[in-house]
Structure 1
Amino acid sequence: MKYEAPPIVEVTVEFRFSEPVPYEIIEKKAHIFENNYEGKKFEQQARIELKSSPEQTVHADRRMVGIRFSSNNELEVCIIHTNRIVVAQLAPYNGWEDFSPRIARDLSLFSKHFVKRKFSRIGLRSVNRIDIPEQTVELSDYLTLYPHLPFYGKTMGTGFALESTQQFLDTDYLFKVRSATVESPVPESLSFLLDIDLSTEQNIPMRENEILAKLDEMRGIKNHIFETSITDKCRTLFN
């Protein structure tokens, strides 16, 4: 369903490599992505080694693991990491039709100019924040994924977090869906998180067009999970 004001605050697509790409290659090829992104930050990873000895020495160092590219406003992001490539869009999200061409472009650039790698996992994550202009609500009026609690007496709920992990039947897809309270940036409102993380580690194609077709299929499943997790009353908030 197309909404005038979708609640999406971030959409992320991740392609995880079956074998790591040396950082030296990422650094050498960085200029290819600089043509499309104005910002560039280097990502490091800390490594700590504990050595058994009378002195119990601890050795710590940092190593470069990737580069984060972004637009000037930080809303468009691409991360080339030694074990994955990530393409993300932060709100405002203008729809899959606007986002998917950038995914195709960045995937094509990586495939053409970097070391060829098979993908061991493809992930599609959508983080939604649902803002309700009320101070007190019945969760069941807006969400279908919420905790059912016993009667504790005269109490008032101030927060919750609930996560479910499931296999989408007759497919290769596994998904996690999480609902929770979050601090609302909107005055006199309540905000809820609906986080959907869909992934597959099986039957991953190698051709770019087939990978993009699989992403389109995943997007349809993700939308189904979202629509199943909200009510009609919730939908009115997005139009």
Structure 2
Amino acid sequence: MAGLAFMGTVFGYNFIKYEALFRTRKPIGTYTKIIAVISLLALLGAGICFFLLETRTQLTAVMFLGLTVLYAVPFTKKGNLRNLSGIKIYIVALCWAGITTLMPLINAGVALYSDVYLKFCQRFLLVIILILIFEIIDLKEDNPSLKTVPQKIGIKNTQLLNITLLGILYSLEFLRQKIDNTQLLVNVMLVLAVGLFTLGASPERNKYYTLFWVESVPVFWLGLLYLVSFS
């Protein structure tokens, strides 16, 4: 399951980023060719892992694969799901939350119950929050037709929305059947870190603000979980 998620992510990310380049048959450089080879190897590895999964998990994986394809490949005159205003962030959040929360449990045959759905909602919200930070940074470069949240309501209101969503994300922890104090501690540190990134987000920021710092949030979260598990 972990192999499929990792290699599928590598292929999916590169497919979304470079699909148009290959579809239009534009000349590609050595760097892009290397990316293409890595992507094909990742696809092969993901395919092998796919056939090792339970049938129910395979069906779920196909659904998320379909969303990824529709996200990148044009299927209407307006383009793909990525170009449909207001939809992009929900598609990305749904795929990330579903693959990291639901699929492992479905593959293990674990019944989905209230705490699982709460965790799904938390990860769904976290991905949306992180995407909104990216949208603030990319405000000057994004096509106005995308109608991103910062384009619609402005930077300050987007930051306020993010802080509100972070509050909801943290509050969901108190709805669990059994409240875990360790998880509460980890989540408050996560919320504080993402809150600081939100308040510091600006179109004037360097790209590395999102490419390194914001994208490192899941790694930071994982590190916190490992740290508290050994304490």
TM-score, normalization by structure 1:
0.27
The structure richer in helix per residue is 2
Structure (1/2) with the larger strand percentage: 1
Structure with the bigger RCO (C-alpha within 8 Å, sep 6+) is 1
Higher Cα Rg: structure 1 or 2?
1
> TM-score scaled to structure 2, two decimals?
0.28
